[in-house]
Chains A and B, each alone.
Chain A
Amino acid sequence: MSTHFAADTTVLLGRSMRHVTRSLDTIITTAVMPIAFLLLFVYVFGGAISAGPGRYVDYLLPGILLITVATGVSYTAFRLFLDLQSGIFERFQSMPIARSSVLWAHVLTSVLANAISLVLVLLAALLMGFRSGAGVLAWLAVGGILLVFTLALTWMAVVPGLTAKSVDGASAFSYPLVFLPFVSSAFVPTASMLGPVRAFAEHQPVTSIVDTIRRLFAEQPVGGDIWVALAWCVGALVVAYLLAMATYRRKAA
């Protein structure tokens, strides 16, 4: 069976990528809200926010990239939910294919679709004046962090995708993920926040991830932050993966 895992996953990946490319609105919608946040914060609130000496768009972009992924993974839950509802999931389950291929295909689709959305947001930021002198290694590090972050959130999305009773239920889980960056260093420095809020903001995962990406873009040393960021991402990934697999096994009897 496992000899077919790669082949089956590839076939199923091709299938769900067709779902993505045939409803491009899902990618556009994923990119639109983060781009709207970019516009709003750079051109409306940006003047009133003191986030240091540099361009505010440079400060803002890392957090916006995380919001993009948080929005994007809700479509993964949505596509998985539709597969269960339409019965095609059970058809696959009754076929002689590597069982976890069905999930992996959705997860890889999520990674690809989010990558496209991230590129769109990045292009919008470039138009708005974002610049970075980061070298190849720094860009690779940013890509790597975003990849692990996307995988963690995607495996999280698998759980509601498999268990939701309605379409809304399947995507509602991402709302808190979208708003987590607001209580972090993504929009304003945490130093400006009130005591307890500041304590929360400085210790939640988004701040360490955002700070790391920001320093990589700004060609500054990342210090210990990158390890905190990676620990959060990998930790969340492992927990989400185990949870998703347990849910899947229960579902697949």
Chain B
Amino acid sequence: MTTKPPPAAIHVEGLQKSFQALHVLRGVDLDVPPGSIVALLGSNGAGKTTVIRILSTLLAADGGTATVAGYDVATQPADVRRSISLTGQFAAVDEVLTGRENLVLVARLRHVGSPGTVADDLLRRFSLTEAGGRRVSTWSGGMRRRLDLAMSLIGDPPVVFLDEPTTGLDPQARVEVWAAVQQLASAGTTVLLTTQHLEEAEHLADRIAILHEGRILVDGTLAELKALLPPAQVEYVEKQPTLEDVFLALTQEHA
């Protein structure tokens, strides 16, 4: 008996997207296995946010197909939205409300039981309990970012998109976010994240995909990516090449 591999939590095939004359995505193929963390890397303007926005039903693709949790983003957007949550590149929080009210709002909209308890738990988990009763307009950027992430965890969606989740966070907060992401994955949640911090991808991701000039240039585990560098260069850098070496070598080679 052959065991079929489990269907991908995120399956992207030939995804195309242009903004006027700008051909941003030129046939993106990507598979994310359930319960794994995949990091999408790419230079500024490579189209990472565009991919995430298409997958979270905020933007329509021009061509290709994408399914999330088995649902087609173009034809079953409501089912997709029930299966995902999105933390966008810029914190999307309500500044007029307090932190706790923000969490309660999302909990109500996701129809979870006892929204107040959910909110208090998340405030504690992200070290925001003290600030929780203050309006978010008085919060620091890093605190907003943590709140933003906490809002995305409500309702335990099986697939989570994180667009640069740790940009602007201090090292301590970054570690907290990493722990939260790892906890999500170990509980079976699928995470697709984008990042500018290559050591974040090294640290967190099961697989790494590099988006360059509208396509996925390489897609593999960290070890697989490192094996791509020519041996001469491995010798030259003495120690193990970092992901940064791999990233720069690959994107420059294909520039």
With both chains docked as a complex, state the minimum distance between the C-beta of A110 and any C-beta of chain B, in angstroms. 16
Which residues in B have their C-beta under 8 angstroms from that of A23? Answer: 96
Binding-face segment, A55-63, A93-101, A152-160, A185-193: A93-101
**B151 and A91 form a contact (CB under 8 A):** yes
One of A11, A94, A252 near B108 (C-beta < 8 A): A11
One of A86, A94, A95 near B95 (C-beta < 8 A): A86
Chain A CB within 10 A, most for which of B85, B93, B94: B94
Residues of chain A at interface, number, CB under 8 A = 24
**B105 and A22 form a contact (CB under 8 A):** no
With both chains docked as a complex, state the minimum distance between the C-beta of A96 and any C-beta of chain B, in angstroms. 4
**A1 and B88 form a contact (CB under 8 A):** no
**A95 and B85 form a contact (CB under 8 A):** yes
Binding-face segment, B51-59, B117-125, B190-198: B51-59
Which residues in B have their C-beta under 8 angstroms from that of A96? Answer: 78, 81-82, 110
With both chains docked as a complex, state the minimum distance between the C-beta of A246 and any C-beta of chain B, in angstroms. 16
With both chains docked as a complex, state the minimum distance between the C-beta of B87 and any C-beta of chain A, in angstroms. 9
Which residues in B have their C-beta under 8 angstroms from that of A203? Answer: none
Q: Does B175 sit at the interface, judged by CB under 8 A?
A: no
Distance in angstroms between the alpha carbons of A19 and B60 in the assembled complex: 31
Q: Does A90 sit at the interface, judged by CB under 8 A?
A: yes
With both chains docked as a complex, state the minimum distance between the C-beta of A17 and any C-beta of chain B, in angstroms. 11
Which residues in A have their C-beta under 8 angstroms from that of B92? Answer: 86-88, 90-91
Q: With contacts A8-B109, A87-B91 known, is A93 near B58, CB below 8 A?
A: yes
Q: Does A4 sit at the interface, judged by CB under 8 A?
A: yes
Distance in angstroms between the alpha carbons of A178 and B105 in the assembled complex: 35
Q: Does A37 sit at the interface, judged by CB under 8 A?
A: no
Chain A CB within 10 A, most for which of B93, B97, B109: B109
**B81 and A95 form a contact (CB under 8 A):** yes
Which residues in B have their C-beta under 8 angstroms from that of A253? Answer: 57-60
One of B57, B91, B105 near A94 (C-beta < 8 A): B57
**A94 and B109 form a contact (CB under 8 A):** no
**B81 and A15 form a contact (CB under 8 A):** no
Q: Mark B65-103, 1 if CB is under 8 A from A, else 0.
A: 000000000000010011011101011111111000100
Q: Does A165 sit at the interface, judged by CB under 8 A?
A: no
With both chains docked as a complex, state the minimum distance between the C-beta of A22 and any C-beta of chain B, in angstroms. 6
Distance in angstroms between the alpha carbons of A7 and B57 in the assembled complex: 22
Q: Does A131 sit at the interface, judged by CB under 8 A?
A: no
Residues of A within 8 A of B (CB): 1, 4, 7-8, 11-12, 15, 18-19, 22-23, 86-88, 90-97, 252-253
30 A-B pairs within 8 Å (CB atoms) are namely A8-B109, A11-B105, A11-B109, A12-B109, A19-B96, A23-B96, A86-B92, A87-B88, A87-B90, A87-B91, A87-B92, A88-B93, A88-B94, A90-B58, A90-B86, A90-B88, A91-B86, A91-B151, A92-B109, A93-B58, A94-B56, A94-B84, A94-B86, A95-B85, A95-B106, A95-B109, A95-B110, A96-B81, A96-B110, A253-B58
Residues of B within 8 A of A (CB): 56-60, 78, 81-82, 84-86, 88, 90-97, 101, 105-106, 108-111, 151
